[in-house]
Amino acid sequence: MNIPELLSPAGDMERLKFAFAYGADAVYLGAEDFGMRAAPKNFSIEQLKEAAEYADSLGKKVYLTLNTVPTNADVKKMPEFIRKVAQTGVHAVIVADLGVLAMVKENAPGMEIHFSTQVGIMNYVTANAAYALGAKRIVLARETSLEDIIEIREKTPKDLDIEAFVHGAMCMSFSGRCLLSQYLNGRDANRGECSQPCRWQYQLVEKKRPDLYFDINETEEGTYIMNANDLCMAPYVDMLAKAGITSLKIEGRAKSFYYVASVTAAYRQAIDAYAANPDDFLCPIPVLEELTKTSHRRYSTGFYFGRENATQTTDSSTYIREWDLLAVAEKWEDGVLYCSQRGKFVVGDEIEVLGPDGSVFKFTPEKIFDAEGNEIESTAHSMMPFSVPCNKEIAPMSILRKIAK
């Protein structure tokens, strides 16, 4: 039986640790260069080594993204960089460019190679070509249907891993290869600097009437003609596994540690539920509930069940955010929960605790104490240490949150 790997994003070391704590089997991350995401802190060579060692200690894996579109200036620096990467212990590199592929083979022989979604693989011929070029894994284009994935699996070598995105933002351009941001803002989406102009509000202007703006759809908010819904395939984990997908990938290297932890915990529960009952899988209700508790756009199934299901939201580009992050649990001892603050709450607020095992617990603190043991009314200062009475033992790295007002 195929039990897929759960692959989570890690924008920095904190997010990596939360991903592993909340159930990821592997993470993908970027270095300070060549990694398709400029917003996250990313990892230095020393931090890559630390990340790989930490993953090894848990029996888990780290994959490094090298999937930018490199310039001549980039390729002059890349061989030395790849040689340094080879010494860090990362378990694979993700490439999208044939030149980068050649440099990895030359400068890091034996390094496992994954072909990025940026390659745009949607058929078994291209998948087999990637395998012949040395790919151990292909990351399918987001536009690939489930029907095509089944055929790709049937017509490719069994030791070729198939990875697919199952959750997160969908780009309006083919497999993320967007030119809009560079054209409008000078910020290159293929070098990790996307300004997301596809989320902007657009109106039509007729040439002879430059001061008159027309809504494309007749709504007060305007229209969002390129505003793709977020992807969510948690209810269909069984179908993905039976299609032969090796790794289920969560999008979001630029997202917060809370997002990484919450979504990872949800998909961990979904995969485990499938493993326990593959013939009669039903996505647990808590999984679906958890996926509403992070910031997201409206969900869809993307292209998995046909292009007509790759829906867009035409009335708003805003995120749905119904919960506020409050704190991270540091330790529980003798009925007291010690935390570090991430958001303000006051005495009497009902708090929900998400544990690394995906469990959820609610309580209402009647008192709050600062680091010196003084009773206070609220957690008003960023990152402040505090404690609250709590009868239930809470695991370290548990997350405290409340419904947003």
State whether 237 and 366 are in the same domain: no
What is the total count of domains within the chain?
A: 2
| pLDDT (mean) for 79-98 | 97
The span from the CA of 54 to the CA of 316, in Å, is: 41
Beta strands in 217-322 (DSSP E): 230-232, 247-250, 299-300
- Number of H helices and E strands in the chain, helices first, is 10, 20
| pLDDT (mean) for 245-271 | 96
Classify residue 193: in a domain, yes or no. Answer: no
Classify residue 181: in a domain, yes or no. Answer: no
**What CATH number is given to the structural domain containing 397?**
2.40.30.10
Mean pLDDT of all residues in the chain?
89
Per-residue pLDDT tens over the stretch 50-69: 999 999 999 999 999 998 88
The span from the CA of 338 to the CA of 398, in Å, is: 11
Classify residue 123: in a domain, yes or no. Answer: yes
State whether 137 and 261 are in the same domain: yes
- The answer to whether 68 and 192 are in contact (CB under 8 A) is yes
Classify residue 89: in a domain, yes or no. Answer: yes
Q: Alpha helices, DSSP H only, in 22-71?
A: 45-58
What domain range is 164 assigned to?
Answer: 5-173+227-309
Classify residue 263: in a domain, yes or no. Answer: yes
Classify residue 221: in a domain, yes or no. Answer: no
φ, ψ of residue 395 in degrees (nearest 5) = -75, 145
Classify residue 22: in a domain, yes or no. Answer: yes
pLDDT band of residue 176 (cuts 50, 70, 90) is low
Cα–Cα separations (whole angstroms), residue 353 to 234, 261, 271, 332: 22, 12, 22, 13
State whether 50 and 164 are in the same domain: yes
State whether 346 and 255 are in the same domain: no
The span from the CA of 361 to the CA of 261, in Å, is: 16
The span from the CA of 359 to the CA of 252, in Å, is: 23
Torsion over CA: 117, 118, 119, 121 (sign): positive
State whether 304 and 338 are in the same domain: no
When comparing pLDDT for 194 and 43, which is higher?
A: 43
Q: What is the pLDDT of residue 405?
A: 79
**What CATH number is given to the structural domain containing 150?**
3.20.20.380
The span from the CA of 385 to the CA of 120, in Å, is: 47
Exposed, middle or buried by CB within 10 Å (0-12, 13-18, 19+), for 57?
exposed
Per-residue pLDDT tens over the stretch 265-314: 999 999 999 999 999 999 999 999 999 999 888 899 999 998 766 555 54
pLDDT of residue 318 exceeding 70: no
Classify residue 166: in a domain, yes or no. Answer: yes
pLDDT band of residue 365 (cuts 50, 70, 90) is very high
pLDDT of residue 210 exceeding 90: no
Q: What is the pLDDT of residue 313?
A: 54
| pLDDT (mean) for 109-117 | 97
